[in-house]
Chain A
Amino acid sequence: MVKVTSTETETHMPLWEVFSQEKTGKPHTHVGSLHAPDATMALQNARDSYARRGSTNLWVVPAEAIVASTPEDSPMFFDSAEDKVYRHPQFYTIPRSVKL
């Protein structure tokens, strides 16, 4: 892994993840990330960087606050979903003549 360093003159700014809602009623989706010293500037920078052609709402989240599952554990972590066919509508049979 490449060592993260900062130069003498440039101090490190925290990383923020940006989520944008394109239209009202739609979910917020991840659009990218940016560095900013605080939440107010993160939001302003997010608007300038990721919403130049519109958005209805923006979230900025400190990247370190996000907890994610790891790729190494993924097979086991999501395993239990694989064999539960009874969670899908195709598993169930109803009379052909009935429209649900």
Chain B
Amino acid sequence: MESQLHSSDSSGNSSEDEIQREKRFEERIHFGERIEPKDWMPERYRSQLIRMISQHAHSEVIGMYPERNWITRAPTLRRKLGLLAKVQDECGHGLYLYCAAETLGVDRNDLTEKLLSGKAKYASIFNYPTLSWADIGVIGWLVDGAAIINQTPLAKCSYGPYSRAMIHICKEESFHLKQGFEIVTTLAKGTSVQKKMVQESVNRWWWPVLMMFGPSDKESLNSEELMRWRVKLHSNDSLRQRFVNGSVAQAKAVELTLPDPELRYNEETGNWDFGSIDWDEFWQVVKGHGPCNRDRMDLFHKKHKEGRWVREAAHAYASRHPVN
């Protein structure tokens, strides 16, 4: 079962055993077997997964904030319903992922504590502001589109609970993508003011979205090990390229331009070559100096505090009404 903590522990075993176990573990991965919570796994595999899954969960939670901004100002009831459902999905994705992380022996309260204290990271894209309604469309199209390209391979990753959570998540993300593109299409075909608004939004989001795939392969410290363990199945750069290739045609279909003068089709590779990414900006945002880092954390603290009475009330009720 997902929930039952692993029982294997490396203590008391000789290093000979350890080497054998590790070898057997790598073989299982090589043959495409899934690793389940109670199976033996190297401590490093466990800690890397905890880091990845919890970071992913935190991103879903903080990812609600930029969009939350526009729920009360959605232009129609149809748009409001769609946006509410989408934000609720993000919250649900956070839940699935925290549960997947817990199967590795961590406690969700501790993970939340790490986010509150600023020790844990979340996707840096959510540190950018949502300045216009068009941003809601562009987030659905580009941010969720990039997330889908990043996450679809994770549904096949070697850790069972993570892969199952990702299958669930990817199914729901496809609605997010479509609702976003519908907004973008509507604005792009609208008045000149609307068209200008959506183009301005694309211009602001394009480069930060390309950064979502993480540092270039040459700079990515964890990639090699994660790929060997099939936690990660494709390199950052190859996923980024796949995203660029797809986006060019989509932008063209709604007559929007992508803000990159160096964007050019490469006959030889069949890819769209693109300009260089400003990695200084990326690291600045990661280190906490993005436009909204402080706002996001302040709101998270506030909401955590405001929700405390709900958790306490639920406990008080449960203690008076024991199960069965």
Chain A interface residues toward B at CB < 8 A: 1-2, 4-7, 9-13, 15, 17, 30-41, 48-49, 52-53, 62-63, 66, 68, 70-72
- Taken together as a complex, chains A and B put the C-alpha atoms of A12 and B311 apart, in Å, by 10
Alpha-carbon distance A2/B46, docked complex (angstroms): 10
Extra 9 A-B pairs, beta carbons < 8 Å, given A1-B5, A31-B168, A52-B92: A1-B9, A2-B50, A7-B113, A32-B99, A35-B108, A38-B318, A66-B4, A68-B1, A71-B38
Query: When chains A and B are docked, how far (Å) is the Cα of A67 from the Cα of B130?
Result: 48
CB–CB B323/A7 < 8 A: no
Known: A1-B105, A72-B8. A32 touches B168 (CB 8 A): yes
Interface of B is mostly: helix
Cα–Cα, bound, A32→B321 (Å): 25
A30–B8 CA distance with the chains assembled, in angstroms: 23
**Of residues A36, A38, A48, which shows the largest number of chain B Cβ atoms within 10 Å of its Cβ?**
A38
Task: Answer whether A41 and B318 are a contact pair too, CB < 8 Å, given A32-B2, A63-B1.
Answer: yes
Asked if B88 CB lies within 8 Å of chain A CBs, one says yes
Cβ-defined partner of B311 (8 Å) among A10, A38, A40, A72: A10
Residues of the B chain whose Cβ atoms lie less than 8 Å from the Cβ of A6: 107, 109
Contact of A37 with B318 in the complex, beta carbons under 8 Å:
yes
* B165 interface hit (Cβ, 8 Å): yes
Measured between beta carbons, the chain B residues less than 8 angstroms from A15 are 3, 102
- Chain A min CB distance to B60 (Å): 12
Residue B6 lies at the interface, judged by CB distance under 8 Å to chain A = yes
Q: How far is the CA of A2 from the CA of B113 in the complex (A)?
A: 15
B26 interface residue per 8 A CB criterion: no
CB distance from A84 to the nearest CB of B (A): 24
| Residues of chain A with a CB closer than 8 A to B200's CB | none
In the complex, the answer to whether A70 meets B38 with C-beta atoms within 8 Å is yes
Question: In the bound complex, do residue B321 and residue A38 qualify as a contact, i.e. CB atoms below 8 Å apart?
Answer: yes
Our pick among A12, A41, A62, A72 for the contact of B109 (Cβ within 8 Å) is A12
Q: List 12 A-B contacts (CB under 8 A).
A: A2-B106, A2-B107, A4-B107, A10-B112, A11-B315, A33-B2, A34-B95, A37-B315, A38-B314, A52-B89, A52-B92, A62-B323
Residues of A with C-beta under 8 A to B4 = 63, 66, 68
What is the bound-complex CA distance between A7 and B113, given in angstroms? 8
Question: How many angstroms between the C-alpha atoms of A49 and B6 in the bound complex?
Answer: 25
User: With A and B bound together, what is the CA distance between A66 and B5 in angstroms?
Assistant: 12
A89 to B117 alpha-carbon distance, docked (Å): 61
Chain A residues lying within 8 Å of B9, measured Cβ to Cβ, are: 1
Residues of B within 8 A of A (CB): 1-9, 36, 38-40, 50, 85, 88-89, 92, 95-96, 99, 102, 104-110, 112-113, 164-165, 168, 172, 308, 311, 314-315, 317-319, 321-324
B116 CB, min distance to chain A CBs, angstroms: 9
Q: How far is the CA of A42 from the CA of B310 in the complex (A)?
A: 15
Closest to B36 in A: A71
Return A28 CB to nearest CB of chain B, in Å. 14
Report the Cα distance A35→B98, complex, angstroms.
10
* Contact call A66/B105, Cβ cutoff below 8 A: no
Whether B318 lies near A49 (C-beta < 8 A) is no
Min CB gap B174→A, angstroms: 12
Tell me whether B109 and A49 are in contact (CB under 8 A).
no
Residues of B close to A35: CB separation below 8 A: 108
Cβ of B110 and Cβ of A33 under 8 Å apart?
no
Chain A residues, Cβ within 8 Å of B92: 48-49, 52
- Note all chain A residues with C-beta closer than 8 A to B168: 31-32
In the complex, are the beta carbons of B317 and A5 less than 8 A apart? Answer: no
CB-CB < 8 A to B318: which residues of A?
A: 37-38, 41
B3 in contact with A33 (CB, 8 Å): yes
List B contacts of A32 (CB < 8 A).
2, 96, 99, 164-165, 168
**B56 shortest CB reach to chain A, Å:** 15
The answer to whether B99 touches A33 (Cβ under 8 A) is: yes
